[in-house]
Structure 1
Amino acid sequence: MVKVCFISHSSQKWGAEKFLLETVLQLRDQIEIVVLLPNNGALCEDLQKYDIDHHIIPYTWWVGKNISIIKGVVKLVHSLFVGMYIAYKLKKMKCDVVFSNTCTICVGAIAAQVLRIKHVWFTHEFLWEDHQLRFHLGKNISTFLMDKLSHHCVVNSYAVYESFTKNLSRREKWRVMYQPVTLHFSPKPISIVAKKNFRCMILGAIKDNKGQKDAIAAVYLLKEKYSICAELFIIGDGKSEYVNELKKQVCEHDMQEQIIFIPYVEFAASWMNETDIVLVCSKNEAYGRVTVEAFLSKKSVVGSASGGTCELLKDDNNGLLYEPGNIEQLAKKIKILHDSETLRNEIAERAYLWAEDNISWQKYNKELCEILSVQSE
């Protein structure tokens, strides 16, 4: 049986980390699995709960925000030595394949190169466009190295594919694989405010590029221009300064009863069952896990026409798209779904069927097993 080492860039439970956990749970009967993490965290707890072999080895990213050249070089040298140490550990574990779960870490590629074993690099992000991160070596050199140090480079959308391969002379190692999603429901009834009006929900990390400000402004416009008193649940965590800035925006519009802030929730699907529609207002979403979760929950989505979102959403078919940053247009799209429950349900049903046909674990597992050289079941 092939033994694969999955390397996570963090021990938290955001989109990429959830995907890693769901992937290893899907493949655990077909491959031997070991997971490396840079520190302790929520992901470690889940790996332990499911009895997945995992180890903590402190390592750093080869990307960052506004890092000086000297500091960047220090981090790269550190990654080089840690990569060699990981190679030593993986040799003792008799691993056959290394799977780096995001492009933010390079230690897996270094370890695989030292051991001369297969390396797969899965990229979930644009970097600058969605997280304001830059490669210490620059994007052109880094993508060249990603290509050279990998047997396969997998990305989660065609938008990310174009972003990373546009300056490469050859692209045969690169492929797009849409990530499936497993819906997680709370084993107990969730505690939620009783729905009084039409309810919208926006889920994810609370930060500027996720578009919570746009959602708040659109709900305010619905009230002022169309006399629609819609509710908005903002679910997620973020830096306190930015969260307070959003709360100030809500208070200025006197919408404290309409707009509710809820910290990160473990069981997103249970919360989606309590809303009418889901908003995806990200300025540049690489893929859109929340979009797929909404599809599978049979909820209509209004999303910004950018990044991977417009690959998943087809306007007036399985969702509604609006121009990023256009508050008036966003409000109008929400109003369309508010005014017609029939249309809302039709769009949600088409979205569900599209997700079932195009983003299944069966299809994904087959492709991934081919990449890992494992016979799929």
Structure 2
Amino acid sequence: MKKKIVHLQVLPILSGVQKITLNIFRNLDPDLYEMFLICAQSEDSDNPSLISEAEKLGVKVIVLKDLKREIGLHDLKVFFQLLKIFRKYDFDIIHTHSSKTGFLGRIVGKLSGCKAVIHTVHGIAFHDRENFLNRNFYLILEIFAGFFNDEVILVNKYYQSKFWFIPRKKIQTIYNGIDLEVLKRKRNRNDDLIKLIFVGRLDRPKALPDLIRAFEICVKERNNIAAYIVGDGEYYDYLKEYIARQELGGKVKLLGWRFDVADLLADCDIFVGSSIYEAFGLVYCEAGYTGLPVVATRVEGIPEVILHNETGLLVEPGNPEALAKAVLQIADNGELAEAMGKAARRRVEENFSLTEFIRQYKEIYELY
């Protein structure tokens, strides 16, 4: 008999967290597992959807219209909707992602009698940037939800100390992995223009005001530098207006959501990130494997992916001037850029392959 497994996601977009779910589904044997996905309704028909990609893999998708990222009374309705669904399908494994579905899904999962409730932590709501009251409120919720899971998977080692309330036998770190075959692109650089690139969701954690300011400094100080921002989200209009106001349109391009990220990375020279908090950063692995040195911030799990002075440079968050200085340090030294790019590729091959990532998750699933 097939094991029934369901993944819970909030946003049905195709950012890093959602790609993790798709990679797991893609590599499970359909003869052994009957796969389900529960998520919110897609609100953007112009961008690729987690729902459509999951359906292509034969995954049964259940959409909850009341499931939203924001906390509200609608969460109570979702609680009972999940309870009804879990009891109807009698899942063997419930695998939750993100704080919202992690809280509701774990509690309802155990109340429904599911034998295995697994939660992967892709980020924490009780991070150091949150104010005291909110931080401790979210921490209390996480402690409570911790009584309702069988396994907690962290995507970095940094979070180990943050989850002191979870018994050590129930918690482990599994680094995210990428499909190296998809990224096997030949570097296309054949001109003197140095291209900077950022790829990601344009939201608050990415600190886009810092990124665009750093890009502005770089393109104004060097005539041979251009920058590209790839992604969509709440800061899109802000970036568009900033580029126009500062007259950066000739050197800084806002590309929106793109399907050809692998090709764009292969056509660039340095990847730049400005996050104020980030658990892992799957795109740093994609950039590194493509051979790009990375300039990023020294927050949460990023130093476990990017090794300072080896595969890239790390600076403190909230300092666009320092970010720009680090970018220019690599841009002005071709030998350094090449050495870091080669080291980045080796590190991804040795530590962040999809094969190892899938092996570890399969081992957990096979326990139940």
- The answer to whether the Cα contact below 8 Å between 1:6 and 1:33 also exists between their aligned partners in 2 is no
Secondary structure of the structure 2 residue equivalent to 1:24: helix
Aligned amino acid, residue 255 of structure 1: L
Aligned amino acid, residue 342 of structure 2: E
Q: Which runs of 5+ in 2 are unaligned?
A: 43-48
Which residue pairs with 2:86 in the alignment? 87
Which residue pairs with 1:49 in the alignment? 56
Q: TM-score, normalised by structure 2?
A: 0.85
Which residue pairs with 1:154 in the alignment? 153
Aligned: 1:234 with 2:229: yes
- The answer to whether the Cα contact below 8 Å between 2:201 and 2:233 also exists between their aligned partners in 1 is yes
Secondary structure of the structure 1 residue equivalent to 2:100: coil
- After TM superposition, the structure 1 stretch with the greater mean CA deviation from structure 2, 134-143 or 265-274, is 134-143
Which residue pairs with 2:254 in the alignment? 261
Q: What is the deviation of 1:34?
A: 2.0
What are the Cα deviations for residues 209-265 of structure 1, in whole angstroms up to 9, with x where unaligned? 3133223222332344x44441110111123xx433323332343221000011111
Q: What is the deviation of 1:288?
A: 0.5
Secondary structure of the structure 1 residue equivalent to 2:314: strand
Secondary structure of the structure 1 residue equivalent to 2:62: strand
Which residue pairs with 1:368 in the alignment? 361
Which residue pairs with 2:113 in the alignment? 115
How far apart, in 2, do the equivalents of 1:369 and 1:24 lie? 11
Which residue pairs with 1:78 in the alignment? 77
- The answer to whether the Cα contact below 8 Å between 2:99 and 2:124 also exists between their aligned partners in 1 is no
Q: What is the correspondence of 1:20-39 to structure 2 with a 5 Å cutoff?
A: 20-29=21-30, 31-39=32-40
Aligned amino acid, residue 54 of structure 1: V
Change (3 A) 1:56 1:28: farther
Q: % of aligned pairs identical?
A: 19
Secondary structure of the structure 2 residue equivalent to 1:369: helix
How far apart, in 2, do the equivalents of 1:215 and 1:156 lie? 24
Change (3 A) 1:31 1:245: same
How far apart, in 2, do the equivalents of 1:31 and 1:195 lie? 50
How far apart, in 2, do the equivalents of 1:135 and 1:367 lie? 34
Which residue pairs with 1:127 in the alignment? 125
- The answer to whether the Cα contact below 8 Å between 2:192 and 2:224 also exists between their aligned partners in 1 is no
What are the Cα deviations for residues 69-115 of structure 1, in whole angstroms up to 9, with x where unaligned? xxx4x344323312320222222xxx311111223214432134322
Q: What is the correspondence of 1:105-254 to structure 2 with a 5 Å cutoff?
A: 105=101, 106-109=103-106, 110-127=108-125, 129=127, 138-163=137-162, 165-166=163-164, 168=165, 170-182=167-179, 197-224=193-220, 226-239=221-234, 242-254=235-247
- The answer to whether the Cα contact below 8 Å between 1:10 and 1:37 also exists between their aligned partners in 2 is no
How far apart, in 1, do the equivalents of 2:23 and 2:166 lie? 34
Secondary structure of the structure 2 residue equivalent to 1:138: helix
How far apart, in 2, do the equivalents of 1:137 and 1:113 lie? 25
How far apart, in 2, do the equivalents of 1:345 and 1:248 lie? 34
Secondary structure of the structure 2 residue equivalent to 1:142: helix
- After TM superposition, the structure 1 stretch with the greater mean CA deviation from structure 2, 339-348 or 111-120, is 111-120
Aligned: 1:320 with 2:313: yes
- The answer to whether the Cα contact below 8 Å between 1:37 and 1:58 also exists between their aligned partners in 2 is no
How far apart, in 2, do the equivalents of 1:227 and 1:341 lie? 15
- The answer to whether the Cα contact below 8 Å between 2:126 and 2:138 also exists between their aligned partners in 1 is no
Q: What is the deviation of 1:317?
A: 0.7
Which residue pairs with 1:189 in the alignment? none
Which residue pairs with 2:20 in the alignment? 19
How far apart, in 2, do the equivalents of 1:299 and 1:29 lie? 36
Aligned amino acid, residue 115 of structure 2: I
Q: What is the deviation of 1:21?
A: 0.6
- The answer to whether the Cα contact below 8 Å between 1:121 and 1:146 also exists between their aligned partners in 2 is no
How far apart, in 2, do the equivalents of 1:141 and 1:345 lie? 46
Give the root-mean-square deviation of aligned CA atoms: 3.0
Picking from 340, 344, 360, the partner of 2:333 is 340
How far apart, in 1, do the equivalents of 2:219 and 2:226 lie? 10
Secondary structure of the structure 2 residue equivalent to 1:206: coil
What are the Cα deviations for residues 164-203 of structure 1, in whole angstroms up to 9, with x where unaligned? x14x2744312111111226869xxxxx9x9772110011
How far apart, in 2, do the equivalents of 1:216 and 1:136 lie? 28
Q: What is the deviation of 1:30?
A: 7.0
Picking from 327, 347, 353, the partner of 1:354 is 347
How far apart, in 2, do the equivalents of 1:43 and 1:277 lie? 29
- The answer to whether the Cα contact below 8 Å between 2:312 and 2:340 also exists between their aligned partners in 1 is yes
- After TM superposition, the structure 1 stretch with the greater mean CA deviation from structure 2, 125-134 or 26-35, is 125-134
Q: TM-score, normalised by structure 1?
A: 0.84
Change (3 A) 1:138 1:101: same
Secondary structure of the structure 2 residue equivalent to 1:148: helix
